[in-house]
Amino acid sequence: MTAPADPYVDRILDAAYALLTRHGLRRTTIADVVRESGVSKATVFRRFPGRAELFDTLMSREVARFLSDLEVRLDTVEDPVDRLVETFVRFCEVAPHNVVLRRLVETDPETVLPQLTTQAEPILAFGRAFMLGELKKLTEAGYRLTASPEVCTDLITRLSHSYILLPPTLPDFADLERIRDLFRATVVRMIVAD
């Protein structure tokens, strides 16, 4: 049985998202989140003892939302190679344009960049778990991988993650057909042996 959702957590996280988009991390306080969310200070502190916990939870929620959206998008894609390609294309559509992420990298690089680099393991774990499932579908369909599923997963996850850190300049990421063709010609060949 699943625990009931906490009605306050989403209100608090939505408020934090709005504030971070407008002001960045340094200029957003818990008091601001309390005001923006309309939730009492005690309620906010019971859920999030500090800004770090709030920020970590918000980032985890955004990654989980992206993956949930991606699963819905992939519902109509049956071929496992096409699913892999569409996963990467969707990431290229969304990641470079994430408003709060771009804002935080701009306003608070000293805080955010460690979260996206040396302390990025929790975020990368979401991606790896998702990609392992996709690679399992590949092998179940009879495809052979060029390395272990874990190594292939790590390769794809790190490549995708690099587009968060440094928004791409080449190729033109507005041309999704070109991105599909490029991914198929390069990354798919690095991980699919046949």
Give the per-residue pLDDT at 35.
95
**pTM of the full predicted structure?**
0.76
When pLDDT is cut at 50, 70 and 90, the band that residue 170 belongs to is: low
Average pLDDT over residues 135-153: 94
- pLDDT band (50, 70, 90) for residue 178: confident
Does 139 or 168 have the greater pLDDT score?
A: 139
Residue carrying structure tokens 């892999």: 84
Can you give 70-117 as a three-state secondary structure string? HHHHHCCCCCHHHHHHHHHHHHHHHHHHCHHHHHHHHHCHHHHHHHHC
Integer Cα distance of 25 and 170 in angstroms: 30
Which carries the bigger pLDDT value, residue 11 or residue 173? 11
Average pLDDT of 17-43?
Answer: 92
User: Out of 32-36, 127-131, 167-171, which region has the weakest mean confidence (pLDDT)?
Assistant: 167-171
Domains and CATH numbers, the chain: 7-191 (1.10.357.10)
Mean pLDDT for the chain overall: 86
What SS3 state is found at 60?
Answer: helix
Residue 96: partners with Cβ closer than 8 Å, 6 or more residues away:
102, 163, 164, 167, 168, 173
Average pLDDT over residues 98-127: 80
**Could you tell me which of 16, 4, 32 has the C-alpha nearest to residue 104?**
16
pLDDT, tens digit, for every residue of 50-71? 888 898 888 888 878 888 888 8
Asked if residue 30 has pLDDT above 60, the reply is yes
User: Which one-letter amino acid corresponds to residue 11?
Assistant: R
CA 31 – CA 29 distance, rounded (Å)? 5
